[in-house]
């Protein structure tokens, strides 16, 4: 949900200036939040021709553009600026269509550039994750090797403890035998 300011408009967007605002004026798109797109937008805004093309594209894709043309064509025909078949109007509209199709292609190129920026960023992310995965596998292999070494050392230590325990038991048995022998001899005297 978008945060609202005290006047009821969504934070970061301009408030509606009247009831016909959404019907007439072009809708302002929200600013990009992806850092790669923000950087690309800043680089694009450095050139005046890009700003002009973006504004023309935004206006020509709005309902205001449609309304102006409806009024213009209606007045042209209604006031009889020229007679049927409206050759001059047809030529003007054809020239306008040529320029507008160019602006549509400019807009498509801009959208393609945005998609390319996102694709490049995602590729870098995948490469970074792949590098991290390789590092994690290397660390896991090192841990496995150390674990094997610890287990081998523990096995050796256990074998040494078993040998020492056997020697202690043997010494204890011999001590017990000697003690028994001493007691027997002491009792005989």
Least confident among 8-17, 19-28, 39-48, 55-64 = 8-17
Structural domain contains residue 163: no
More confident residue, 13 or 42: 42
* pLDDT of 15 strictly over 60: no
pLDDT of residue 74: 93
Structural domain contains residue 44: yes
* pLDDT of 8 strictly over 60: no
Structural domain contains residue 187: no
Structural domain contains residue 57: yes
Structural domain contains residue 15: no
Residue 37 structural domain: 21-145
Question: DSSP string of 36-95?
Answer: HHHHHHHHHHTSHHHHHHHHHHHHHTSHHHHHHHHHHHHHHHHTTSS-TT-HHHHHHHHH
Structural domain contains residue 160: no
- Considering only CA atoms, give the Rg of the chain: 43
Q: What is the pLDDT of residues 107-140, one digit of tens each?
A: 888 888 888 888 888 898 999 999 999 999 988 8
Structural domain contains residue 13: no
Q: What is the pLDDT of residues 48-102, one digit of tens each?
A: 887 888 888 888 888 889 999 999 999 999 999 999 889 999 999 999 999 999 9
Structural domain contains residue 184: no
Overall domain count for the chain: 1
């Amino acid at each position: 949900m978008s945060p609202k300011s005290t006047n009821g408009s969504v934070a970061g967007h301009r408030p509606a200036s009247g009831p016909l605002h959404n019907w007439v004026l072009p809708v302002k798109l929200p600013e990009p939040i992806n850092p790669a797109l923000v950087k690309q937008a800043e680089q694009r805004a450095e050139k005046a021709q890009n700003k002009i093309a973006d504004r023309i594209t935004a206006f020509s894709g709005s309902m205001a553009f449609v309304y102006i043309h409806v009024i213009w064509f209606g007045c042209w025909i209604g006031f009889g600026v020229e007679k049927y078949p409206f050759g001059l109007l047809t030529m003007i509209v054809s020239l306008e269509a040529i320029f507008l199709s160019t602006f549509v292609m400019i807009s498509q190129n801009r959208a393609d550039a945005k998609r390319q920026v996102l694709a490049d960023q995602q590729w870098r992310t995948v490469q970074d994750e792949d590098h991290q995965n390789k590092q994690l596998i290397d660390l896991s292999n090192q841990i496995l090797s150390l674990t094997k070494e610890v287990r081998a050392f523990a096995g050796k230590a256990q074998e040494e403890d078993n040998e020492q325990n056997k020697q202690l038991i043997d010494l204890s048995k011999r001590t017990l035998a000697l003690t028994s022998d001493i007691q027997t001899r002491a009792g005989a005297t």
